[in-house]
Amino acid sequence: VRDLVRHFPIRAGVLRRTVGVLKAVDGVSLDLRKGETLGIVGESGCGKSTLARLLTAHDRPTSGEVTVLGRSMHELRGGELRRARRHVQLIFQDPYTSLDPRMTVADTVREPYDVNPDLAPRGDRGRMVRELLDAVGLNPDHGDRYPHQLSGGQRQRVGIARALALRPEVLVCDEPVSALDVSVQAQIVNLLERLRETFSLAYVFIAHDLSVVRHLADRVAVMYLGKVVEIGTEAEVYESAAHPYTEALLSAAPVPDPALRGTRQEIVLEGEPPSPVDPPAGCSFHPRCRKAVAGCSASAPGLDPVGGGGHLVACHLADRS
Ligand code: SF4
Ligand code: MG
């Protein structure tokens, strides 16, 4: 992902005149390696879902590009685009709205084969659908049911099976468990972990829950107002966070180990994130940053290395030594 930008014009009045620009994704560069899980965290409205739609070619960027296996997705059209899109599948937050209520589970999982007939000979599709249902922990009886006859967790399993039918390299999971009961969340996370091995998948795992991301991710990117403000390995981000926003997110996350509760000072983040329509000048985090200095509102910090490896942070005060 190189310099990815998605701006939405905001129109108002009867003349629908453009009155502003919503900078949903504002210059994001990332790499995803084969078999890797990249977590993306940030508050709602930071551009995570827009990024997910751009990564899966459900939306086109204003500028910048997404390259998959050496091919730029946004230069492809028609059949070429459809074939390239198979590699990167989107798992939605709410599996209910993404499933057709009039289609049975088996038909839903089979549909990708009807759209992409070269994926499997007609005679093999029934067996392949049963194997996919089995892989996501559904039994053959579920194949005859409709979405309203399933629990939320079962619906999410159907959405995953349908995505796997296309034999993707990458699943982009946009808050895949946040609409589910807490008791079901761990089951789906464990399922995704198992499928990563079985199907040799790489994941982009988007969440606002930092503990889920920590469990799954090899690397983590933290987003704020359309930009990545910190990226590094799971250990670099969780144990040596270098951006004041990451520090605040981590300090606000629930501590799973009761012995550690109360040992940590919570950093209170003042207010809601500012609007991405008219983000603050300079470092866009400065109105909420407890470390801000005079220069922070004057110029935007670059996403530059701290330490020796791939740990990058966008903060003027980061120790670059
Ligand atoms: Fe805070 Fe300044 Fe760093 Fe931005 S650049 S995160 S305002 S210290
Ligand atoms: Mg979202």
Minimum mean pLDDT among 61-70, 89-98, 257-266: which range?
257-266
Would you state the pLDDT for residue 262?
Answer: 56
Q: Percentage of the chain surpassing pLDDT 70?
A: 95
Average pLDDT over residues 18-27: 92
Query: Which of 153, 183, 252, 163 is closest to 211 using CA atoms?
Result: 252
318 close to ligand 1 (CB < 6 Angstrom): no
Instruction: Return d(Cα 299, Cα 182) in angstroms, integer.
Output: 42
Atom number of ligand 1 nearest to Cα 291: 8
Domain assignment present for residue 101? The answer is: no
DSSP 100-157: -TTS-HHHHHHHHHHHSGGGS-GGGHHHHHHHHHHHTT--GGGGG--GGGS-HHHHHH
Contact 191, 160 (CB under 8 A): yes
Helix, strand, coil tally for the chain in percent (to 5): 40, 20, 40
What separation in Å is there between the alpha carbon of 276 and the centre of ligand 2?
14
Would you state the pLDDT for residue 101?
Answer: 93
What separation in Å is there between the alpha carbon of 49 and the centre of ligand 2?
4
- Any bridge partners for residue 171, and if so which? 89, 203
Average pLDDT over residues 255-284: 73
Q: Could you list the residue range(s) of the whole structural domain that residue 201 is in?
A: 2-87+168-313
Would you state the pLDDT for residue 224?
Answer: 95
244 close to ligand 1 (CB < 6 Angstrom): yes
* pLDDT surpassing 60 at residue 258: no
User: Nearest residue CA, atom 3 of ligand 1?
Assistant: 315
Task: Tell which one of 229, 269, 284, 289 to mutate to probe ligand 1, the residue whose CB is within 8 A of the most ligand atoms.
Answer: 289
- Average pLDDT of the chain is 91
Domain assignment present for residue 259? The answer is: yes
317 close to ligand 1 (CB < 6 Angstrom): yes
- Please identify which residue in the block is written with the tokens 């220069």: 295
Domain assignment present for residue 140? The answer is: no
Task: Tell which one of 317, 319, 320 to mutate to probe ligand 1, the residue whose CB is within 8 A of the most ligand atoms.
Answer: 317
What separation in Å is there between the alpha carbon of 315 and the centre of ligand 1?
5
CB atoms within 10 A of CB 305: 13
Domain assignment present for residue 304? The answer is: yes
More confident residue, 157 or 252: 157
Minimum mean pLDDT among 129-143, 157-171, 275-289: which range?
275-289
Number of domains observed in the structure of the chain: 1
pLDDT digit string (tens) for 28-53?
Answer: 999 999 999 999 999 888 999 999 99
Domain assignment present for residue 146? The answer is: no
286 close to ligand 1 (CB < 6 Angstrom): yes
- Please identify which residue in the block is written with the tokens 């099976």: 161
pLDDT digit string (tens) for 178-235?
Answer: 889 888 999 999 999 999 999 999 999 999 888 889 989 999 999 999 999 999 999 9
Phi, psi angle pair for 55, to nearest 5° = -65, -30
292 close to ligand 1 (CB < 6 Angstrom): yes
Would you state the pLDDT for residue 184?
Answer: 92
The helix or strand, by DSSP H or E, that contains position 171, with its residue range, turns out to be strand 170-174
- Report residue 82's pLDDT band, with 50, 70 and 90 as the boundaries: confident
Domain assignment present for residue 190? The answer is: yes
Looking at this predicted complex, what is its ipTM? 0.96
- Report residue 144's pLDDT band, with 50, 70 and 90 as the boundaries: very high
Task: Tell which one of 270, 283, 306, 312 to mutate to probe ligand 1, the residue whose CB is within 8 A of the most ligand atoms.
Answer: 283
Domain assignment present for residue 9? The answer is: yes
- Please identify which residue in the block is written with the tokens 């300090």: 251
Would you state the pLDDT for residue 254?
Answer: 64
CATH number, domain of 50, equals 3.40.50.300
Average pLDDT over residues 55-60: 92
What separation in Å is there between the alpha carbon of 228 and the centre of ligand 1?
13
Contact 61, 25 (CB under 8 A): yes
